[in-house]
């Protein structure tokens, strides 16, 4: 187990706190052949705020579901302190619940009827700064409003242990700042999954790290950035140790080959060297894959797309939930990159969806242009199909080698390709979408929060690929560093219309 001694002074970890959550030799298998946890052990103490880390598909959300009791461990024990309540803010609200009203969604957090739900909602909405009527349906909310509602549904339960699964994905800058301040002052215990490094570093005391090689959970103490560096140095040490062992193994094998053909004592020496080789092979460690990053890639542009690809004459924005038409004069040509900004609830996601579907009356896309649409909830993908089937349908002619090569470059191997998309992690769905766009070769890219769920190591590579795309791009993203790397040429602020 790796332990970092780095501590952020302003985030001193609560000392001597009672254990509120404990995993003891927990084994969990997803299906018959996929082990997620193998004798995992860790302890979470009262009042601590920890990040749950691991590469896309490592099992972070699965570990949360084990804590919540939605899944059961195959072996071992998960112990939660007596009379302690655990609540979770999940990554997204399933489409199957979009017909519910906000009030009904909040009521789903409780097993029994809550008669003062409106009063409780008002109090918690003040905390998360959410201003929507309780009788409004989920489908009428913006992505940012859904994100705040997910957090509100967890907080309304007044939990002792709060689990947050990618809570910043749909929040704008103001929303992230609000959540950060809230968590800094929150007296309870918090476990959070996020790829937003600055957000995590602002309040966490340490890291629980799922090592995908040995399926253990390693526990680190310290601020987020230094823990990441600590893990990086540990990987480098493992690699150096393996390289030295490999060198000694090769040397011994050469000696064995020489002595084995001799007689007497030489033959005994060869046998001893063989034993030493076996011991050294056992001493080699599986270097974790967390340092793996997707390879640089290109998204090729549809050929002969011409000059003006997209023309804006007007757009529809939402003011207090009411659609309002606003005039806009804007054209997009090859190489243009339009960043659409505005507060949560203004209608950014709705606008992108309508442009992609051709239903936004004031925006026209040139006929014959293939639109590559990255939707933040991945609902353009068929979750009941395998990843391979979804990629194959993009191609006019099936090319098995091309599909597997493109998928592998996005860290999607044979196992992921054979899996139903609904069973992939959200991060893997995101990488699958980029594989899809590469095979599609669109003439226009429409990207709605394309860094959500994506491991931070991959983001610079993705930014470079988008920057180099030769066709026009329309993007919504709240991640400032990512946007700055894209080479934005125009900005449309819906909040100022």
402-415: pLDDT as tens digits: 999 999 999 999 99
pLDDT digits (tens, 9 = 90+) for 468-493: 999 999 999 988 889 999 999 999 99
Measured CA angle at 30 (ends 170, 224), to 5 deg: 45
Mean pLDDT of 121-130: 92
The C-alpha atoms of residue 180 and residue 170 are separated, in whole angstroms, by 14
Query: Is the pLDDT confidence value at 4 over 50?
Result: no
Helix (H) or strand (E) run with residue 189 in it:
strand 189-193
Mean pLDDT of 104-115: 93
Mean pLDDT of 130-138: 93
The C-alpha atoms of residue 172 and residue 494 are separated, in whole angstroms, by 14
* Range in 35-44, 216-225, 361-370, 390-399 with the lowest mean pLDDT: 216-225
What's the number of CA atoms in the CB half-sphere (13 Å) around residue 448?
23
Supply 439's token pair: 């095979």
- What is the model's pTM? 0.71
For residue 260, what pLDDT is reported?
67
Query: How many CB atoms sit inside 10 A of residue 346's CB?
Result: 21
32: CB partners within 8 A, 6+ apart: none
Mean pLDDT of 115-140: 93
* Range in 3-12, 140-149, 247-256, 278-287 with the lowest mean pLDDT: 3-12
Q: Is 384 exposed, middle or buried (0-12, 13-18, 19+ CB in 10 A)?
A: exposed
pLDDT digits (tens, 9 = 90+) for 420-474: 999 898 889 999 999 999 999 999 999 999 998 888 789 999 999 999 999 999 9
Query: Is the pLDDT confidence value at 78 over 70?
Result: yes
For residue 144, what pLDDT is reported?
84
Main-chain dihedrals φ then ψ at residue 454, nearest 5 degrees? -85, 135
The C-alpha atoms of residue 488 and residue 473 are separated, in whole angstroms, by 9
The C-alpha atoms of residue 490 and residue 126 are separated, in whole angstroms, by 35
Higher pLDDT, 344 or 102: 102
Structural class in CATH, domain 310-496: alpha beta
For residue 230, what pLDDT is reported?
79
For residue 9, what pLDDT is reported?
34
* Region at 448 (left for phi over 0; alpha for psi -120 to 50; beta for the rest): beta
Helix count (H) and strand count (E) of the chain?
Answer: 15, 17
The C-alpha atoms of residue 164 and residue 200 are separated, in whole angstroms, by 12
For residue 327, what pLDDT is reported?
95
The C-alpha atoms of residue 474 and residue 461 are separated, in whole angstroms, by 18
Query: Is the pLDDT confidence value at 203 over 70?
Result: yes
Alpha helices in 38-133 (DSSP H): 60-68, 102-107, 117-128
In the chain, % of residues over pLDDT 70 = 93
Fold annotation for 9-229: Rossmann fold (3.40.50)
For residue 3, what pLDDT is reported?
31
pLDDT digits (tens, 9 = 90+) for 343-381: 888 889 999 999 999 999 999 999 999 999 999 889 899
pLDDT digits (tens, 9 = 90+) for 281-338: 666 555 555 557 899 999 999 999 988 999 999 999 988 778 999 999 999 999 999 9
440: CB partners within 8 A, 6+ apart: 370, 372, 394
- For every residue of 327-349, DSSP letters joined together read EEEEEE-TT-EEEEE--TTSSHH
For residue 165, what pLDDT is reported?
93
For residue 314, what pLDDT is reported?
96
Mean pLDDT of 268-277: 73
- For every residue of 192-237, DSSP letters joined together read EE-S-HHHHHTT--EEEEEETTTTEEEEEES-HHHHHHHHHHHHHH
For residue 282, what pLDDT is reported?
65
For residue 97, what pLDDT is reported?
93
What is the average pLDDT value for the chain, to the nearest integer? 88
Q: How confident is the model at residue 135 (pLDDT cuts 50, 70, 90)?
A: very high
Query: Is the pLDDT confidence value at 265 over 80?
Result: no
Q: How confident is the model at residue 197 (pLDDT cuts 50, 70, 90)?
A: confident
Cα dist from 166 to 223, 371, 453, 469, whole Å: 18, 28, 7, 28
First to last CA, the chain: 54
3-state secondary structure of 79: strand
For residue 2, what pLDDT is reported?
34
């Amino acid at each position: 187990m790796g332990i970092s001694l780095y501590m952020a002074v302003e985030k001193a970890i609560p000392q001597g706190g009672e254990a509120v959550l404990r995993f003891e030799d927990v084994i969990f298998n997803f299906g018959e052949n996929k082990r997620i946890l193998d004798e995992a052990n860790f302890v979470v103490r009262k009042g601590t705020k920890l990040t749950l880390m691991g590469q896309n598909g490592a099992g972070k959300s699965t570990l949360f579901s084990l804590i919540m009791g939605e899944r059961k461990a195959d072996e071992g024990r998960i112990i939660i302190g007596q009379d302690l309540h655990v609540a979770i803010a999940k990554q997204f609200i399933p489409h199957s619940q979009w017909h519910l009203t906000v009030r009904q969604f909040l009521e789903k957090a409780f097993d029994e009827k809550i008669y003062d739900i409106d009063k409780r909602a008002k109090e918690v909405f003040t905390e998360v700064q959410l201003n929507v009527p309780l009788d409004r349906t989920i489908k009428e909310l913006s992505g940012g409003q859904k994100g705040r509602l997910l957090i509100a549904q967890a907080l309304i339960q007044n939990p002792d242990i709060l689990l947050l699964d990618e809570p910043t994905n749909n929040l704008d800058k103001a929303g992230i700042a609000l959540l950060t301040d809230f968590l800094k002052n929150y007296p309870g215990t918090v476990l959070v999954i996020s790829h937003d490094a600055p957000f995590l570093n602002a309040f966490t005391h340490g890291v629980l790290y799922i090592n995908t090689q040995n399926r253990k959970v390693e526990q680190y103490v310290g601020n987020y950035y230094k823990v990441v560096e600590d893990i990086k140095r540990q990987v480098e040490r493992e690699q150096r140790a393996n390289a030295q062992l490999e060198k000694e193994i090769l040397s011994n094998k050469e000696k064995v080959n020489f002595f084995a053909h001799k007689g007497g004592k030489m033959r005994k020496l060869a046998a001893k060297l063989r034993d030493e080789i076996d011991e050294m092979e056992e001493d080699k460690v599986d270097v974790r894959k967390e340092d793996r990053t997707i390879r640089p890639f290109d998204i090729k542009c549809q050929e002969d797309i011409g000059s003006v690809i997209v023309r804006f004459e007007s757009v529809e924005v939402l003011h207090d939930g009411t659609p309002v038409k606003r005039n806009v004069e804007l054209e997009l040509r090859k190489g243009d990159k339009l960043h659409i900004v505005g507060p949560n609830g203004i209608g950014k996601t709705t606008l992108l969806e309508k442009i992609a579907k051709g239903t936004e009356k004031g925006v026209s896309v040139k006929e014959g242009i293939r639109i590559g649409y990255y939707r933040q909830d991945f609902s353009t993908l068929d979750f009941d199909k395998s990843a391979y089937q979804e990629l194959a349908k993009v191609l006019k002619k099936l090319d098995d080698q091309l599909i597997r090569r493109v998928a592998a470059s996005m860290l999607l191997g044979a196992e992921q390709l054979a899996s139903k998309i609904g069973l992939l992690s959200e991060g893997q769905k995101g990488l699958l979408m980029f594989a899809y766009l590469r095979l599609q070769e669109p003439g226009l890219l429409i990207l709605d929060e394309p860094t959500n769920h994506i491991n931070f190591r991959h983001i610079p590579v993705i930014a470079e690929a988008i920057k180099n795309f030769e066709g026009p791009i329309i993007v919504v993203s709240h991640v400032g560093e990512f946007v700055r790397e894209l080479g934005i040429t125009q900005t449309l602020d819906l909040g100022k219309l």
